[in-house]
Chains A and B, each alone.
Chain A
Amino acid sequence: MKGLIFDIKRYAVHDGPGIRTTVFLKGCPLSCWWCHNPEGISPEPEEVVTVHRMEGREFPVRESVGTWMDVEKVMTEIDKERTFMEESDGGVTFSGGEPLWQAGFLEELLLQCKRRGYHTAVDTTGHISRKALDRVMPLTDLFLYDVKMMDPVRHQHYTGVSNRLILDNLRYLAREGKQLFIRIPVIPTINDDAENITATLHLLNELDGAVREVDLLPYHALAAHKYEKFGREYRMEGVPEPDEGEMEQLREQFEREGFRVKIGG
């Protein structure tokens, strides 16, 4: 079985506990304005031009982003990191895009990981069918689950989809007793208003202690150049990055409610 992968990152230290290998699956049902992996959105390989620089000269190179890889090939790459995963109580994280968009492929990868005793995490938008979720749930030790904003209309506006399915799936995972890291992008003027934060906290408090950690991810504009490269419209012009003070304030707010908080994941 083959799946479309756009990157495998080693020594990933922000995608769950320990030293991890993060496999990025290509294709996503959302198109968030602030997405820092726009290369993960399209479910097809994309041809782009990368510019190499040497001694002031530019060398444009055509590159294909997204490779169809079979499970075995991906596992070969993951296995290379075994010692680091073992020594650090780390593991493998599947991210994207939306990894569950390739649920069959993901299920097979997770199964292979579990056979080898690796800790598994799935970084998901949550905008996926219950059926897909049910396939991978038993093989996943930890979900990194994005909660972007609580208002369904605004969610639709900024991500292209409503958050109803997302929130339903989140409650479902909590009920099923899965471990969750909630990941919240903090984007000034878009989702950092008091109302949204209060509503988010309210939701998290309902999840019966399934939330092991809240990762507050400060929005950054570092990915802006990628939009041009992938021929996508960049709609974040003028949106500021949150300052440290704001991040600390939010951290306190979540910690007061008893959550373990990390800034930057």
Chain B
Amino acid sequence: MMMTKRIERLREESLQAVNRISAERAVLVTQFYRNPRVQSLSVPVQRALAFEHFLLHKSLWLGEGELIVGERGPAPKATPTYPEISLHSLKDLEVLDTRSKVSFKVDDEVRRLYREEIIPFWRGRTNRDRIMAAMEPAWLAAYRAGVFTEFQEQRAPGHTVLGDKIYRMGLLDLQREIRRRIKALDMVNDPDAYDKREELRAMYIAARAMMRFAARYAGLLQEKAKEERDPQRRAELQQMEAVCRWVPARAPRTFHEALQYYWFVHLGVVSELNPWDSFNPGRLDQHLLPFYRRGLEEGTLTEEQARELLQAFWVKFNNHPSPPKIGVTAQESNTYTDFALINLGGVTPEGDDAVNELTYLLLDVIEEMRILQPSSMIQVSRKNPDRFILRALDIIKTGFGQPSVFNTDAIVAELVRQGKDIVDARRGGASGCVEAGAFGTEAYILTGYFNLNKVLEITLYNGRDPRMGKKIGLATGDPRTFRTFDELMQAYRTQLNHFLEIKLRGNNIIERINARHLPAPFLSLFIDDCIANGRDYNAGGARYNTSYVQGVGLGSITDNLTALRYHVFDKKKITMAEMLEALEHNFEGYEELRHELVYMTPKFGNDDDYADRHAREVFEIFFAAVDGKPTARGGTFRINLLPTTSHVYFGSVIGAMPDGRKAGEPLSEGISPVQGADRKGPTAVIKSVAKIDHLRTGGTLLNQKFSPDFFKDPEAKKKLTALIRSYFRMDGHHIQFNVVSADTLRDAQKHPEKYQDLIVRVAGYSDYFNDLGTDLQNEIIRRTEHESM
């Protein structure tokens, strides 16, 4: 492994650090808002000053041997909370402390602070309270039934990625632009001028706050340098001090400055609010390339130094677990991963092959570091060389699920279809799990997962949710009276439209609440055209504003509809009444029927149009119900198809289903077939999943399991490359590979202690196997077994 002693130690410390709750941020924010004078300020200015208060008073961490400085909490993996957004109760803290998966240690001092200061101040005044109070009964009932989740319930809108702005401009430059914009405001004729001024002022303060934070670090480094006896480390500390004195105030000049500047921005974004998907440097091999080349040319940087700096940078991401989630939000995204997804390759803004020498160096770093965060992916355009894919396959075959593989040409087409300029589209990529976005110019917000299968269950029960025993949908007719499959489809379509409407109505209210109460002036500094528009990121200030609803369980819904059509309507082997009876009994006493449903029924994933046409049909209904509708911040609703871990949660709220799935079992994930239902190999899976129109989504997720055999020699890898190219020629958006044996996983379940470093691909991201719930572990084992058969 090409890793210096220092990096080895920092990496190990990061792996060993215990995830725990820090009350520091909650205390400082509470302190700030206690000041009665705060009430006289506009909300954006309040938030900017709260941000500044935090950065001026938070404790500074400097790890031994660190090259990139700054932690969100007081130490690595000490994780702050965001009580103004969602307040943890003492019971929540207990759950976080003791739950077996994705836990956060909570000490007595944190409990005391929560009990005495934080809970009394924030109870009833959080953004979550605002949202829940504003939701209509139909929304609340559907939410509780598990028809959809709501991303903004515990976390702020996010899902955005930085473009190249910080590599061209320092915060002083941005402040200059803000001053110019304020001066140009027309307070007489522009009715929004006041809002704009307050927002711009808030941005100005947020920029100042970050520069003061960097200055605090410079001071600390200066002090440490004085105390340092080792001359080499002393020189390093002095250089780091110089870096912090230059950035983020001014545009970076060196590789080191560029990385440190990004990291300050990252810390700012994830401290200001707790946005989904933390934050993301995006196209790192593009942004850093000029600094890398110049450094090498001028002799101020060596390849080894660049490698070490990147590795130090990688450790920083790993030190920052996703903020603690509870309840449904924890179930839909049950992971420490905070979804920063490094993009490599793709095309340049001019549309040329963007793979360069730094791309390969970054792939080395991914391979060498082998840690959970940041996630990584390769963007593959038809213009990129095969060598690029082959190098990535070498890393993928080691079995930790990274990098995942994306289709640049599809991403660009998706973004252009949504109305974006093609150059902005080429500057984009994918973030989070698989979400397409125009980096640096778009606020694309995921609003929640949507349970396509729950809606079928409700349809089969004529509007009733059998689990809650309550009518929550429309009365679309008793399915026992349906004479044709089309009648059933019509009823399903009506229910689906009904619940999607409820979801969109809710989203629009939440967007307004967030625009008003959750401005993010610091983040807004970096996303164009927030400054030019004088509007916040969360209020529609970005050039492009998109809100996504994420459909979950495409494979399952396809198989469920197919099973009903095949057995009840086409073959007439059983009646609808018999089918419903079997479902109500969870197939107990109906094993023969269940066997037929599982083994003797056409299934999605086998390139069989009998089944696959229903995937298309559901896709079209879902698309028509969402795509193109306006959002409350002036954006547009779009769809994508990805689950994180929600397919497990969504499965847990559904009883037995016609595809033979028993009550409570997980649904299919992403656009992948139901686990074990694809029996004709990867090309048939690819053909099936390519039958939906990926270009009309903002991202789809396909998980493919391969035994290591498929990677064993150059020829095998060439065939995988061809497989990827073929899928992408069919406009496939994304494919990821899991390369592990079932035996390994079973052993890991028995002896978790031996497999602390075992990372597997879950769905759009990788996670430590040990951190997955038993259900999910079992599911991954099943998937793996199936693949090796």
Q: Within 8 Å of chain A (Cβ to Cβ): is B573? A: no
Residues on the A chain within 8 Å of B331, using CB: none
Q: Within 8 Å of chain B (Cβ to Cβ): is A205? A: no
Q: Within 8 Å of chain A (Cβ to Cβ): is B730? A: yes
Q: Within 8 Å of chain B (Cβ to Cβ): is A88? A: yes
- Selected from A9, A54, A87, the residue in CB contact (under 8 A) with B722 is A87
Determine how close the nearest CB of chain B comes to the CB of A87; give it in whole angstroms: 4
| Chain B contact residues, majority secondary structure | helix
Q: Within 8 Å of chain A (Cβ to Cβ): is B607? A: yes
Q: Report whether A88 and B719 are in contact in the complex, using a CB–CB cutoff of 8 Å.
A: yes
Q: Within 8 Å of chain B (Cβ to Cβ): is A11? A: yes
Q: List 26 A-B contacts (CB under 8 A).
A: A10-B681, A10-B684, A11-B681, A13-B710, A13-B716, A18-B722, A19-B722, A52-B595, A52-B598, A54-B591, A59-B592, A59-B595, A61-B600, A80-B607, A80-B687, A83-B729, A84-B683, A84-B686, A84-B726, A87-B723, A87-B725, A87-B729, A88-B718, A88-B722, A88-B723, A262-B715
Residues on the B chain within 8 Å of A86, using CB: 726
Q: Within 8 Å of chain A (Cβ to Cβ): is B599? A: yes
A113-157 vs B, Cβ < 8 Å mask (1 yes, 0 no)? 000000000000000000000000000000000000000000000
Chain B minimum-CB-distance residue to A88: B722
Q: Report whether B599 and A59 are in contact in the complex, using a CB–CB cutoff of 8 Å.
A: yes
Q: Report whether A52 and B599 are in contact in the complex, using a CB–CB cutoff of 8 Å.
A: yes
Q: Report whether A90 and B687 are in contact in the complex, using a CB–CB cutoff of 8 Å.
A: no
Determine how close the nearest CB of chain A comes to the CB of B370; give it in whole angstroms: 28
Q: Within 8 Å of chain B (Cβ to Cβ): is A256? A: no
Q: Within 8 Å of chain B (Cβ to Cβ): is A225? A: no
Report how far A52 CA is from B686 CA in the complex, Å.
26
Chain A minimum-CB-distance residue to B681: A11
Q: Report whether A11 and B595 are in contact in the complex, using a CB–CB cutoff of 8 Å.
A: no
Given known A18-B719, A19-B722, contact A10–B683 (CB-CB < 8 A) = yes
Residues on the A chain within 8 Å of B719, using CB: 13, 18-19, 88, 90
Determine how close the nearest CB of chain A comes to the CB of B733; give it in whole angstroms: 16
B685-703 contacts to A, CB under 8 A, are 686-687
Residues on the B chain within 8 Å of A54, using CB: 591, 594-595, 598-599
A66-111 contacts to B, CB under 8 A, are 80-81, 83-84, 86-90
Residues on the B chain within 8 Å of A18, using CB: 719, 722
Report how far A89 CA is from B594 CA in the complex, Å.
42
Chain B minimum-CB-distance residue to A8: B680
Q: Within 8 Å of chain A (Cβ to Cβ): is B74? A: no
- Selected from B682, B718, B730, the residue in CB contact (under 8 A) with A11 is B682
Given known A18-B722, A84-B722, A88-B719, contact A10–B680 (CB-CB < 8 A) = yes
Q: Report whether A19 and B591 are in contact in the complex, using a CB–CB cutoff of 8 Å.
A: no
Having A18-B719, A59-B595, A61-B599, one finds 12 other A-B pairs with CB under 8 Å, namely: A10-B680, A13-B719, A19-B722, A19-B723, A19-B726, A54-B594, A83-B730, A84-B683, A84-B723, A87-B723, A87-B726, A88-B726
Find the residue from A13, A18, A55, A262 having the highest chain B CB count within 10 A.
A13
Q: Which 10 A-B pairs have the closest CB atoms?
A: A88-B722, A11-B681, A87-B722, A87-B726, A11-B683, A59-B595, A83-B726, A87-B725, A84-B726, A10-B683
Residues on the A chain within 8 Å of B686, using CB: 84
B386-428 vs A, Cβ < 8 Å mask (1 yes, 0 no)? 0000000000000000000000000000000000000000000
Residues on the A chain within 8 Å of B592, using CB: 59
Determine how close the nearest CB of chain A comes to the CB of B772; give it in whole angstroms: 23
Chain A minimum-CB-distance residue to B712: A264
Q: Report whether B591 and A57 are in contact in the complex, using a CB–CB cutoff of 8 Å.
A: yes
Residues on the A chain within 8 Å of B729, using CB: 83, 87
Determine how close the nearest CB of chain A comes to the CB of B730; give it in whole angstroms: 6
Chain B minimum-CB-distance residue to A17: B715
Residues on the A chain within 8 Å of B730, using CB: 83
B148-174 vs A, Cβ < 8 Å mask (1 yes, 0 no)? 000000000000000000000000000
Range class of the A interface residue count: 20 to 34
Residues on the B chain within 8 Å of A89, using CB: 722
Number of interface residues of B (CB under 8 A): 26
Report how far A11 CA is from B607 CA in the complex, Å.
13
Report how far A262 CA is from B726 CA in the complex, Å.
25
- Selected from B599, B607, B680, B722, the residue in CB contact (under 8 A) with A90 is B722
A33-61 vs B, Cβ < 8 Å mask (1 yes, 0 no)? 00000000000000000001011010101
B605-624 contacts to A, CB under 8 A, are 607
Determine how close the nearest CB of chain A comes to the CB of B675; give it in whole angstroms: 14
Residues on the A chain within 8 Å of B599, using CB: 52, 54, 59, 61
Chain B minimum-CB-distance residue to A80: B607
Determine how close the nearest CB of chain A comes to the CB of B16; give it in whole angstroms: 38
B653-697 contacts to A, CB under 8 A, are 680-684, 686-687
Residues on the A chain within 8 Å of B680, using CB: 10
Report how far A89 CA is from B598 CA in the complex, Å.
36
Q: Report whether A19 and B683 are in contact in the complex, using a CB–CB cutoff of 8 Å.
A: yes
Determine how close the nearest CB of chain B comes to the CB of A144; give it in whole angstroms: 16
Residues on the A chain within 8 Å of B594, using CB: 54
Chain A minimum-CB-distance residue to B599: A52
Determine how close the nearest CB of chain B comes to the CB of A64; give it in whole angstroms: 14
Report how far A59 CA is from B710 CA in the complex, Å.
32
Determine how close the nearest CB of chain A comes to the CB of B403; give it in whole angstroms: 21
Q: Report whether A81 and B722 are in contact in the complex, using a CB–CB cutoff of 8 Å.
A: no
Determine how close the nearest CB of chain A comes to the CB of B8; give it in whole angstroms: 34
Report how far A26 CA is from B116 CA in the complex, Å.
80
Determine how close the nearest CB of chain A comes to the CB of B420; give it in whole angstroms: 28
Determine how close the nearest CB of chain A comes to the CB of B737; give it in whole angstroms: 14
Report how far A19 CA is from B710 CA in the complex, Å.
12
Residues on the A chain within 8 Å of B607, using CB: 10, 80
Residues on the A chain within 8 Å of B716, using CB: 13
Chain B minimum-CB-distance residue to A58: B595
Residues on the A chain within 8 Å of B687, using CB: 80
Determine how close the nearest CB of chain B comes to the CB of A193; give it in whole angstroms: 28
Determine how close the nearest CB of chain B comes to the CB of A81; give it in whole angstroms: 6
Determine how close the nearest CB of chain A comes to the CB of B385; give it in whole angstroms: 15
Determine how close the nearest CB of chain A comes to the CB of B621; give it in whole angstroms: 26
Report how far A89 CA is from B722 CA in the complex, Å.
9
Determine how close the nearest CB of chain B comes to the CB of A24; give it in whole angstroms: 14
Chain B minimum-CB-distance residue to A55: B591
Chain A minimum-CB-distance residue to B725: A87
A1-26 vs B, Cβ < 8 Å mask (1 yes, 0 no)? 00000000111010000110000000
Chain B minimum-CB-distance residue to A81: B683
Report how far A18 CA is from B683 CA in the complex, Å.
13
Report how far A54 CA is from B590 CA in the complex, Å.
12
Determine how close the nearest CB of chain A comes to the CB of B19; give it in whole angstroms: 37
Report how far A9 CA is from B729 CA in the complex, Å.
22
Determine how close the nearest CB of chain A comes to the CB of B98; give it in whole angstroms: 33
Residues on the B chain within 8 Å of A87, using CB: 722-723, 725-726, 729
Report how far A88 CA is from B389 CA in the complex, Å.
14
Determine how close the nearest CB of chain A comes to the CB of B410; give it in whole angstroms: 15
Determine how close the nearest CB of chain A comes to the CB of B363; give it in whole angstroms: 23
Residues on the B chain within 8 Å of A61, using CB: 599-600
Report how far A18 CA is from B721 CA in the complex, Å.
11
Residues on the A chain within 8 Å of B598, using CB: 52, 54
Report how far A17 CA is from B566 CA in the complex, Å.
39
Determine how close the nearest CB of chain A comes to the CB of B325; give it in whole angstroms: 33
Report how far A13 CA is from B680 CA in the complex, Å.
14
Chain A minimum-CB-distance residue to B662: A55
Report how far A84 CA is from B719 CA in the complex, Å.
9
Report how far A166 CA is from B719 CA in the complex, Å.
32
Report how far A42 CA is from B716 CA in the complex, Å.
33
Residues on the A chain within 8 Å of B710, using CB: 13
Residues on the A chain within 8 Å of B600, using CB: 61
B574-598 vs A, Cβ < 8 Å mask (1 yes, 0 no)? 0000000000000000011011001
Residues on the B chain within 8 Å of A52, using CB: 595, 598-599
Report how far A61 CA is from B599 CA in the complex, Å.
10
Residues on the A chain within 8 Å of B683, using CB: 10-11, 19, 81, 84
Chain B minimum-CB-distance residue to A262: B715
Residues on the B chain within 8 Å of A11, using CB: 681-684, 723
Report how far A203 CA is from B85 CA in the complex, Å.
79
